[in-house]
Structures are given as structure tokens and as C-alpha cells.
Structure 1
Amino acid sequence: VTVVGWWSFHWLCDDAYLAFRYVRMSVEGHGYVWNPSPFRPVEGYTSFLWVVILDVVWRLFGVDPPTSAPALSLVAHLGALAVVFRLAHRVPLASAGRRLPWLAFVVLAVVTNRTWLTWTSSGLETALWLLVLLAWLDAAAARAHARLVALAAVLPLVRPDGLLFLAATPALVAVDLRRERPWRAADLTLLLPYLLPVAHLLWRRATYDDWLPNTYYAKVVETWLKAGGLHIALFSFEHALFLVGPLVLAALWRRRDLPALPTMALGVMALQLLFLLRAGGDHFEYRIFLPWVPILWLAVPWACERLGWSLRRGLAVGVTIWLLGLPLPWTHWAITSGSGIRYWEETHEAIAPHWPAPLRAPARLRDWVARWNHYHLVGTPHHLHRAFLDVQIGRFPEVAPVAPVDDLPIWAHPNPGYVAYHHPELYVIDMLGLNDHVIARWPAPEIRKRKLAHERFPPAGYVDCFRPNVVLVPDDVIAFPRAEPFGPDDVRSCEDHWWALTD
């Protein structure tokens, strides 16, 4: 089912091509940079490990990132599904005879979840993050301390959010060990894998002159609790997963004894999610909730068993929640997956008109929240990202490299991913700041209508300093000669001036 879903949902987004450009720059000998010298290096990708994997695959097998990324995402997703099997086997049950029915239920609920299938592709590192994070949780459930620490060392290489897990894991292991025996000096050897993220952090500082990726500064503007709250509300309502909460609370009320290490691990995951929601959630459709899809479905048999319910009663409750979570997301998929997908508009696809009149109340509620989210670019559905990329591909299919001019070809654009990847000969100014040090750190203007992850803009005079001379026209990219050449010394002068203002 996961493979069929990957084939049906198969999509790439323009943002994925940002990371792809870094891979291309590395393959062409420039290293992991957005623009080669004379521009200063900037870390505009969020996953070092994902970029390295794509780089290695391209060098060894000659498969470029747009081709390899979806296939690698599927492999990671199938690996994550194997971890879900392992976690399902760890749920304590009243008898061994209940194992197979509950296992079948959990797997069915997970692989038919639209969010699970949506992120089987995309070109982003999402599936890799899912795999490593679930493996980390499985290590906590197994109380495998060495494996837990090793995976915690990998998480920051997949996403910057992993720094939280990197910091928390030693404390989790220390508390768990203390419950069994006194600490020993030899226990410090468990931290040897931490040399890897420390080395990466020092490399980041030496290469990019920063401790965090540039994307952090570009995306995190200020607290936006309303956006984060509506983001999680829409996800839990659409998939009916809010019904799992009362079930878990009832189970905890009946029995409060919990295994320490996995409980603390889930607490760290919840803390990471709360941090993201505090910042307004995520620009992409339910991406940040993906690891919670299997966790919440695993919570159903766990809660039913703690409540002492019969297998029939537990499965009846679980299947009811599962069935209630199918209509809303799959109706939306049905009306947006056809050939008539609209390009990015200030409207969204309403579900209510497609439902029978007596059943439209929940669909209207969903549409109301989705309209607000869409307006503010919170949880933007994947089909709109796919449509945006399709427009880019349609405008610039197999466009030849820009003809050389006497000075540097510089192009400034707010959505440069696809074109920037296919034109490594261009020096590109990312006007939303993901790949630009100055724009990412320049104070966001007072915006009447907030747009998540799209709130940084270049200060007056910044882009003009570089005198962009590249324009895009249908089916072509043209570089015009300047009246006065713009060379490496001019680039350094602009960057020295503007970087000093931001630093």
C-alpha cells in the first residue's frame, strides 16, 4: 500500500531543488555552497545528511537528485514502516493471541493515512527524519542505550530540530541507568557517537561562520501561537486523531505506571513539536506531524489493553476512529488529484460542497480552518507545491545554459529552486532569505497579513547593490551585459557592507 501510495502521490516541490543545487555545486567542485566564490558560503539547506546522501548517489551511480530523491524517500519510508512493526510488537498485551489482530490494525491505520502516503516522496528529507526518529524511539522502548545515543547523534545531521534530542538523550540515559545501578566512568563511552555531530557543528562554524543553518533565521520570525494551534487542530480533526487523546487519558487514569525511558522519549518529541507549533507550525502539509501518525495509532492498542478491554471492544473503538479519519483527507485528495489542479491561488479546495447536505457540518468546519491556514501559508497542501513546480517546468523546459558575459550573471528571485538548480552558472539571490545571510537576518517588516516562512524581505538597496542582470522570459533565461562590469571585488564590497549591518 505504501508503494502504491508513493506512485499515486509522487511529487517534488520547488524547495527540494534548493538542496539539489547544493549537491550540484559539490559535484562541480565548489563544495556545499549556494553560490560559488566570490560569494560567501551560506547554509540554506536543512539536512546535511540528506544532501550528503544525494551527493554520494550522484557521484557513485550518476543519478541526479530529482531522480534519486523520491526513490530514496520511499526506501526510508519502508524502513520506517519496519520500525512501526517493531514498535507494535513492543506494545504489552494481555495474551499472545491478540498480537496479530492489533498488529494488522496498526499497520492498516498507518498505511491508509493520507499524511503517511503524502510524504513518501517530495524530494525533501522528511522520510529520512521519520526513519531515524522512529528508530530512536524504538531504541528507547527497547532500553538499548548505546543505540539510543548513536541515533541521537544522527538526528541533528538530518534536521536542526535534532539538536534537542542530542541534548536530551544523555539525561534520559543517565536517569534510566540510575534506576538500575550507580553510574560508572565507563558509561561515558556511550557518548562517543557524539563526536560526529560535534565535528559537524565545528565544520558548520568554520564553513558558514554560524552555529545554526541560515534557514532557521529565515523562517523563525516571532511567536505565532494562533497559526500553530490551528495547524495541529486541523490535522487532528481531519484524521480524527483527536479521539485518541481521551482514550489515552482514560488509560492513564486507570493505571499511572509507565516505563520511564520511552515515556521520557515521547516527552522530548512532544517538546520538539510544541516548539515548532509555537513558531506557527510548518509551511508544508502536516509534515511535522508525520512521526506522530504511527505513534498515535500505536497508542490505541496500548490504551485499550491498559483499560482491560476485550479484543473485540478495543478493535471496535480503534476501527471506528480509523473510519472517522478517512472521509475528510481522502475527499480533499479526490478533488485535487485530477488534471484540473489550479496554480497557486488565494482560494482553497472546499470539501463541503462535495458532501451530502446532511453531513456537511464537519466539512464546513474543516474548510473554515483550512481557508485561514491557506491564506497564511500554514500547512500548504502538497498539490499546490506540485502545481507550482509544474509551472516552473512548463516555463523553462531544458533551457540551455546562460550565454557567458563579461561580468557575473546575477539573478534575484523569491522562488529560485528549480531554475537555480538547472542553472549553476548563475549567481542567485534568494529574495526570501533561505539562502541569503543578510535577508534571513534582516528584521521582518510590519506585515498586516502574515505568511508563514515567507516573511523576510531584502532591505532597500541590498539587491540593487549586486546589480542583477539576468531575466527570465518564457522558455529562456537571458543575461544582459552591464554598462560597467560587475566583478568579484564588487561582490565582496557588497557583502562586507551588508553582512556588517546584520552581524
Structure 2
Amino acid sequence: MRLGYLSFFFIAVIIFSLGCFYYYPFFSDDSLISLRYVQRFIEGKGLTWNDGQPVEGYSNLLWILGVSVFGKLGMDLILAARVLGILCSLGTLGSILYYFKNQNIKKEYVFLAVILLVTTPCFPVWAVGGLEQPLYGLLLTLILIEVSKIINDKNFNTIYLLSFWLGLLAITRPDGFLFTILTAGFLLACYGKNKHQFIRIGLATAIIPTLFLLGQLAFRYRFYGEIVPNTALVKVKVTMHHVLRGGFYNFKAFSGTLLLSGLGLAALYYLLRKKRLFGYYLLLLTVSWVGYVTLVGGDIFPAFRHYYVVLILFVFSIIWGLNDIRKINLGSGKSSFIFIFILFINGLGQIKISDNVRAIDERWEFRGIKLGETLKKTFPDQTLVAVTAAGSIPYSSELPTVDMLGLNDYYIPRHPPKNFGTGSLAHELGDANYVMSRNPDIIIFHTGGELNFNIGDQLTKNKVFNNNYIKIKAKAEEPEYILFFNKYGKNTGIKKNRDQLIIPGYLFGHSSDNESVFSGNKLVKKIHKGILYKLTIDSLQAGNWKIAESEQKNADLNADIYTKNGQLTIEMTPKNNMFLESLVLERKY
């Protein structure tokens, strides 16, 4: 290959860009959880989810701060997260190429490893997916380069730069501190026999990065009153179920990235056979990370998000391993053809893998964003919404929210069910009695669907939910949403005073249909001629209730209104098709 490093970088960028374009506009719901924190942080409300007691429902502090910088400059937050992800990904490619450009290594080995990386979907998917993996991968790359300088180049001149990268990684994700422990322990074991060197390495790789972590812990305790973030309470429970799930996740990830992972593992094996010290370091990181992911149960997102770390480690093992083998001549014409064929197979073959296909098919977050925007326009800004999809709807609606799965709630993670650790990762928690005690105006499962998860099962048996909440099919242009409205909710329910009731039209229903339509800034009930619609209201004083007026001027209906055992029942049959905004009742004496 006659390409220079700069020319190859641009080729790699083009291939990477094509990958990003192919998986665009994938954007994960958890990314939008982070953006809600960014949103409120920029508005001066701190790193909070709601007003009131703050909780730490994110696990990517440095990423949130980075996106906040772009947001503060006026950039749309979704775009900001994508831009930061792409910049970090390009930084990873550039850092690898720049470092190995000055090494006595055939550039073909470097090019092969880098192209395998950019044609592996995990890399472009998470460049545009909105979470912190690109930043995590960049910092890990910089750490590996600095450790390589120490081990392979015997160069300790930039060891304090290593401490900076380790410190930043520790505040990017809570598990980032794992690399501080491993790196400090490994370098101290290898080079710490000399007292001066021991102090220098210990200061740079252990003490300084630990100060970063302690700084975050101090902030967490002072601001949230906790040492452990909510994310750990919701997601981490070491059980046999989770361990088996995590092991299978790693198996799928290895199989799904077989060319890169297989070559990386083979090269790592060769480095160990040659007793290369850097090979032992890569092995330590790889085994530790895979073990950690196994213990926590793997992951639920497309394109093997948590395997990103292993891919970066295998890139370095391929480069150093092939350099040691030296029997492969990638510069020959035949080898160049094989090289191109392998890369084509790597990129094309992984398009068909189900975990990567999910990144193409998963677009429900945008349905949630649209619903959130509709709710924001339709209801008051203090309307309380309870959700299971804690990203798209809360982010776009900006309404106060109850996260029924507990990630952004203080109470729920601290009161887990007895079978916690035996269900679907991050979707096991829920407390119907607690949710009902919050009296949300609207309850939304997923982005407008039927009840599901553990919390859905609980609500189907909950008396308050069954009595107070009405299932409504609400249309906004094309999408149809299933929403559960609290007929006694402060902002969406019946408004009472002494002698008058204002009843939103969408609360009326009949046995086969309960369809309402978002129209302008209102949700109105679509009612049909000759159909009986009914609503029962609790805790009312007896009286002679009559229809006083209707917001729908051409409303013409027959109504039967009666009170029994403290319940008011309204049965109405329209004489024509209409859209009903509300019905007003007055008590006559």
C-alpha cells in the first residue's frame, strides 16, 4: 500500500461517514435522558431531572458537561450530542494513526486495524447515537497510547498526561475508574521496584486520577446526598440470571464482530506467546472489562455498546501483534486484494446482524419526541406525566415527570421488588402504590402503548388506577397514542367548584372505542351519532345536575345524569357527529 497516513485518515473518515449516514438518525432514548439533565443545567436548574429532591439518573457526567458547552452556544442538543460523538470518534482514529506513524511498524498493519474498526457498526452507530461511548473510547485510546509509550518506548516523559486521561475517564462513567486501578496496579508491579519510580508512577496513575473521582463523589454527596448514583441502584444486581445474560451478551458481541475480534484475540495470543509486556496489559484490561460486563448483565442497546471498549483494545493488539508476526505482507498485490475483500465482508456482513439491524429499525424515540412536543403545547407546564420511556417524552415535553422504572426517581430504586435481579435489565423496578401516591395527570407506557413491564402488571391490579384512570386513544396527525388520563388530575381531569363541573370531553368513552384528537393546542373527543358515551365520577354531593353548556356550539345530545351512592353517572348520546372539547354541568337547587 502506497497510501500515506494523512491520505489514509481521509479514506477512513469517508468510510466512517458512510457508516454514520447509514445508521442515521438512530438516537437512543437514554441519550435523551442525559439531554434532559443538560437542558435543565443550561437553564440554571442544576443537574436535575425535576424540581424538588435531585437524583443522579445519569452515569456520564463528563459527557453531559461536554454537550452542555455546545448547548450553551445555542446548538440544538440532539445535534450537539451527535457532533461531540463524531468529533470524539475522529479523535480516536486520528490519535491511533498519529501515534503509530512514528513507530517502527508497517503502516499496513495500522491501516488494517483502523479500517476493521470503522467498518464495525458499533463505532459509527454510537458516534451518532448520543451516548458517551465515543468519549469513553477516545480517552481509553489516549490511555493505551501513553501506556504503550511507557512499556514499548520506555518513555516516562508524558506519564502525567496519562494521569489526566485516567482522571477524565473516571468521571465519564463510574466504571471508568476500573482502568485507573488496573493501570496503576500493572505499572507499579512492573516498574515500581525503584522507590523514586514507585512514587512517580503512584502519583500519576493512582493518586491524581483518584482525586478526579473523589471530586465527583464530593459533588454527588453534597448535591444529591448520595455516594452511589441511581443508575447503579437500578441496573446493578449481581445474580445468576444477570451473569448468564452478561456472558451471552459478550458471546454475541464477539460473534457479531468476528473479523475484528477474532483477529484481535489471535494477535493478543501471539503477543502473550512472545511475552510482550504490553500484551499482558491488554489482556488484563480485556479480561477485566469482559468480566465486569458479564457481572452487570450486559446491555440492552443496539450494536454492542459495551463492547466498544474491547474493540479499541483489539485494535491495539492487532497492530502490535501483526508487527511481531512480520510474516504477513499486506503490501503485496494479492494481500491488498484480500485486505479489501476482508473489509468489504466486515462491513457488509455485519449489516445483517440483528443487534445492528436494531439501530436501523429503532426509531420509536422520535415518536416519543413528537408526543412530548404535543403534550407541551396542549397541557399546562405543571402537568405531571408518569412514563416508562424516560428519555424522549420528558425531554421534549419539559413537563414534570415520574420515571416509573426508577432511574430518575429517588423512592423506587430504594424499594425494589423481591424478585429484583431476575427480570429484564433496567426494566425490573416499579411500585404501583408509589406511582398512584404521586397522582400523575397522565400515564404513558413506552411512547403511547399498552401497560407493560413489572409496573404495568402491578397497575392492572391496583384499585386506584382502575378507578381513576381512563384509557384514551389520542391521535396527532398520523400516530395514534394510548394514554391513561387521570379523571381527577389537577391539570387534565375534571375541574370542580361548589356547583359546577367542567368535564374534558376526552374522558367520555364507550365499550368499543375511546378516540380523541389533538387539534391545535387542545385534545378533543371524537364522538359519533347514536353511540352511548358514559362517565362515572366519585365523591360528589347529591344534587340535580344538568348540562349547562358545551364548548362545542353545535352539540346536540340526549343526556341521562343521575347520582347513586355518592357517584355521579353521565350517559350521553349525540344526535350528530362532533368533536367535544368539554361538557359543563351545573347543580340545580
Q: Same fold (TM over 0.5)?
A: yes
Q: Aligned partners of 2:221 and 2:173: how far apart in 1?
A: 16
Q: Aligned partners of 1:463 and 1:380: how far apart in 2?
A: 35
Identity, % of aligned positions: 23
Q: Aligned partners of 2:253 and 2:171: how far apart in 1?
A: 27
Match of 1:383 among 343, 360, 366: 360
Partner of 1:429: 402
427 and 218 in structure 1: CA distance in 2 versus 1, 3 angstrom threshold: same
Partner of 1:106: 113
Partner of 2:30: 15
Gaps of at least 5 residues in structure 2 are 1-14, 151-157, 445-473, 486-490, 498-589
Helix, strand or coil at the partner of 1:456: coil
Helix, strand or coil at the partner of 1:455: coil
**2:392 corresponds to 1:418:** yes
Helix, strand or coil at the partner of 1:291: helix
**2:54 corresponds to 1:54:** no
**2:90 corresponds to 1:83:** no
User: Which digits, 9 at most, give the CA deviation of each residue in 1:170-214, with x for residues without a partner?
Assistant: 333433442566446566653345433311111101111222221
Match of 1:453 among 404, 426, 444: 426
Q: Aligned partners of 1:111 and 1:32: how far apart in 2?
A: 34
Q: Which sits farther off after the overlay, 216-225 or 190-199?
A: 190-199
| 1:74-223 matched pairs, under 5 angstroms | 74-86=86-98, 88-89=100-101, 93=105, 99-143=106-150, 144-178=158-192, 182-183=196-197, 190=204, 191-192=207-208, 194-223=210-239
Deviation at 1:18, TM superposition (A): 0.7
411 and 119 in structure 1: CA distance in 2 versus 1, 3 angstrom threshold: same
Helix, strand or coil at the partner of 2:127: coil
Partner of 1:501: none
Query: What's the Cα RMSD here?
Result: 3.3
Partner of 2:317: 299
Match of 1:267 among 284, 287, 296: 284
Match of 2:305 among 279, 284, 287: 287
Partner of 1:248: 267
Q: Aligned partners of 2:351 and 2:394: how far apart in 1?
A: 34
**2:50 corresponds to 1:41:** no
Aligned length: 426
Q: Aligned partners of 1:110 and 1:322: how far apart in 2?
A: 10
**2:438 corresponds to 1:438:** no
Partner of 2:570: none
Asked if the contact 1:33/1:41 (under 8 Å) is kept, the reply is yes
Helix, strand or coil at the partner of 2:411: helix
Asked if the contact 1:91/1:302 (under 8 Å) is kept, the reply is no
Asked if the contact 1:106/1:294 (under 8 Å) is kept, the reply is no
15 and 288 in structure 1: CA distance in 2 versus 1, 3 angstrom threshold: same
User: Which digits, 9 at most, give the CA deviation of each residue in 1:6-50, with x for residues without a partner?
Assistant: 23322212221111111121222211111112xx11000111111
Deviation at 1:307, TM superposition (A): 3.4
Larger RCO, structures 1/2 (Cα 8 Å, 6+ apart): 1
Q: Which sits farther off after the overlay, 299-308 or 116-125?
A: 299-308
What residue identity is the alignment partner of 1:141? S
Asked if the contact 2:61/2:172 (under 8 Å) is kept, the reply is yes
440 and 483 in structure 1: CA distance in 2 versus 1, 3 angstrom threshold: farther
Deviation at 1:131, TM superposition (A): 0.8
Q: Whose helix proportion is higher, 1 or 2?
A: 1
Asked if the contact 1:102/1:301 (under 8 Å) is kept, the reply is yes
Q: Aligned partners of 1:232 and 1:437: how far apart in 2?
A: 31
Helix, strand or coil at the partner of 1:15: helix
Q: Aligned partners of 2:388 and 2:246: how far apart in 1?
A: 24
User: Which digits, 9 at most, give the CA deviation of each residue in 1:450-486, with x for residues without a partner?
Assistant: 322211222x41111111123564449983257799x
Higher CA-based Rg: 2
Deviation at 1:252, TM superposition (A): 4.4
194 and 284 in structure 1: CA distance in 2 versus 1, 3 angstrom threshold: same
Deviation at 1:322, TM superposition (A): 4.8
Asked if the contact 2:115/2:343 (under 8 Å) is kept, the reply is no
Q: TM-score, normalised by structure 2?
A: 0.65
What residue identity is the alignment partner of 1:162? G
What residue identity is the alignment partner of 1:33? T
Asked if the contact 2:330/2:339 (under 8 Å) is kept, the reply is no
Deviation at 1:300, TM superposition (A): 3.1
Q: Aligned partners of 1:216 and 1:192: how far apart in 2?
A: 24
